[in-house]
């Protein structure tokens, strides 16, 4: 990888990492603590991520137990979960919050796989846009006589290989997540 394409590869890598973190927040049939990553609760006068306010554990395959570090934050955490798009009603026993994940229906699973595919397509579009920007940059460099025509061709080939690599990674992530969602 040349210095001229390094910045573009880093952008493509960030796109894939972003997709990975988004896919972690989509719940499959099992309880996954990452579904709470984007939920923030009002606490100490500011919005704070739930995973910074409580210990989060999965004692069973379909249960998440949230134990606040400070008992006074329990109600706020519960309220934040209720207001989120998680779609699960928290059970509060005064000390901990339990989230019981129901089995996903076949219809819901298919809907989730469509969402995953759309996120994958959006990420591939982002990677292709980065490729376009990279190719535009090297063409401008060639026009300004900063690089030769041979270097231009070699850089274009390198950029395309990077694009193919990251698109394949995105496809693999989407396929794995969809398998996870569809497994019962």
Residue 168 has pLDDT above 70, yes or no: yes
- Give me the pLDDT at residue 184, please: 60
Q: How many structural domains does the chain have?
A: 2
Average pLDDT along the chain: 88
Task: Count Cα atoms within 13 angstroms, Cβ side, for 10.
Answer: 6
Instruction: Give the pLDDT band of residue 166 (cuts 50, 70, 90).
Output: very high
Phi/psi of residue 62, nearest 5 degrees? -120, 25
Collapse the DSSP code of 85 into the 3-class scheme (helix H, G, I; strand E, B; otherwise coil) and give the result: coil
| Domain with 81 in it | 33-100
Q: Among 72, 100, 128, where does a domain finish?
A: 100
Residues 128 and 176 in one domain: yes
**Rounded mean pLDDT of 37-56?**
88
User: What CATH number has the domain bearing residue 78?
Assistant: 3.30.1360.40
The residue among 19, 41, 63, 54 whose CA lies nearest residue 169 is 19
């Amino acid at each position: 990888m040349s210095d001229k394409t390094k910045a573009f590869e880093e952008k493509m890598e960030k796109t894939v990492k972003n997709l990975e973190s988004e896919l972690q927040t989509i719940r499959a049939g099992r309880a996954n603590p990452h579904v709470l990553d984007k939920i923030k609760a009002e606490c100490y006068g500011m919005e704070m991520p739930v995973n910074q306010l409580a210990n989060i554990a999965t004692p069973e395959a379909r249960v998440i137990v949230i134990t606040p570090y400070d008992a006074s934050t329990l109600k706020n955490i519960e309220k934040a979960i209720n207001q989120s798009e998680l779609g699960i009603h928290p059970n509060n026993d005064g000390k901990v919050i339990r989230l019981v994940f129901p089995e996903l229906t076949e219809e819901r699973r298919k809907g989730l796989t469509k969402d995953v595919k759309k996120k994958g397509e959006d990420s591939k579009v982002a990677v292709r846009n980065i490729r376009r920007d990279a190719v535009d940059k090297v063409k401008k460099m060639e026009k300004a006589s900063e690089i030769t025509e041979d270097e231009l061709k070699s850089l274009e080939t390198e950029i395309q290989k990077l694009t193919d690599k990251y698109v394949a990674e995105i496809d693999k992530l989407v396929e794995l997540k969809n398998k996870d969602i569809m497994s019962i």
